[in-house]
Amino acid sequence: MSAAPGGGRSNVSQPYALMGILNVTPDSFSDGGRFLDAEAAIAHGLRLLGEGAGILDVGGESTRPGAQPVEAAAEIARVGPVLEGLRGGLGEARVSIDTSKLAVAEVALRAGASIVNDVTAFRAEPELAGLVADAGAECCLMHMLGEPRTMQQDPRYEDVVDEVKAFLAERLEFAVAQGIDERRVLLDPGIGFGKTVEHNLTLLRRLDELAALGRPLVIGTSRKSFLGKLAAGAEADRRLPGTIATNVLAFERGASVFRVHDVAAVRDALAVAAATLDGRWTGSGETARI
């Protein structure tokens, strides 16, 4: 999907993109271990593309609450074969590497990735910004309070929206100062990353304030624990209704990239939302590029 410069929705038929989650990890909260085998991961990635994903977000290190860090070499060993295996089947889709490590990003960009999705927003390894700039790649910068092992230990804010907005504005400024074209930056408020249920709901409710930063917003609510808390303790595999609801609400408030496990279901929900909100329906069923 092609976002209009300066933010906002584009005028193409579907003003959003679906980012399919491909976790090549043993310990991700929802699907840990299911796609640790490279062949299984490649097959799943191709399924996500077939369901309508315009971006595949490949990650080799879990960032769930309490997750332990992974050495770069282990992360590369997990994602490298998957990236190479996907190369011939991407078509118009793109690959994002979910990492905060320079060494992993270097390997991924050489293997065809064109987006670096860094949950630390270049704080873990600031030199990663220079790599993205030199490669002419895109990046996604996310807000996280603390780091995965500690982020859910009593997170507090004076005003979560104002603080997340200020953080994202500062990290956007840093990325541009390092040579990254502002038009190549996506921003993610980090739903579930150092936030309580109320923090997450407030961010979703006031998402238009973050959209005012002028860059495409990435939303990652898929199967997250706060949805289970809102839905009578639903386990991860029963959180699709909440995932759909939060993505539709986020779209209405200005988000344009949706990072999800269940691509087909969210695709259909967003197609209906877009047709309703924009007052037009193309019938094409195509997912646009961001």
- The answer to whether the pTM exceeds 0.85 is yes
Task: Work out the number of other CB atoms within 10 angstroms of the CB of residue 147.
Answer: 17
| pLDDT value at residue 62 | 85
Q: What six digits make up the tokens of 189?
A: 């408020």
Q: What is the pLDDT of residue 36?
A: 67
Residues 6 or more apart whose CB falls under 8 angstroms from that of 73 comprise none
Instruction: Name the E strands within the chain.
Output: 17-23, 55-59, 94-98, 115-118, 138-142, 185-188, 218-219, 257-260
CATH of the domain at 247: 3.20.20.20
Count of domains observed in the chain: 1
CA dist., res. 36 & res. 64, Å (int): 16
Residue 109 in domain: yes
Considering the domain boundaries, does residue 185 fall inside one?
yes
Domain encompassing residue 263: 17-278
Average pLDDT, the chain: 88
- Cα(149)–Cα(67) distance, rounded to whole angstroms? 6
In a domain, residue 36? The reply is yes
Q: Confirm whether 41 is domain-assigned.
A: yes
Neighbours of 88 (CB within 10 A): 8
Contact by Cβ (8 Å): 58, 22: yes
> Which residues contact residue 49 at a Cβ distance below 8 angstroms, ignoring those fewer than 6 apart?
20, 56, 89, 90, 91, 93
Query: Is residue 52 domain-resident?
Result: yes
Query: Cα separation of 221 and 259, whole Å?
Result: 8
Q: Residues 13-26: pLDDT tens digits? A: 468 999 999 999 87
Q: Which residues, including other chains, have CB under 8 Å from residue 276's CB and lie 6 or more apart?
A: none
**Which residues are the active-site residues?**
224, 259
Using one digit for the tens of pLDDT, what is the confidence trace for 25-59?
875 545 445 666 899 999 999 999 999 999 999 99
Is residue 186 included in any domain, yes or no?
yes
In this structure, are strands 17-23 and 94-98 parallel, antiparallel, or unpaired?
unpaired
**Tell me, what's the pLDDT at 2?**
38
Q: Is residue 64 part of a domain?
A: yes
- At 251-285, the pLDDT tens digits run 999 999 999 999 999 999 999 999 999 875 655 55
Three-state secondary-structure class, residue 158 = coil
pLDDT digits (tens, 9 = 90+) for 111-137: 999 999 999 999 999 999 999 999 999
* Residue 218 is assigned to a structural domain of this protein: yes
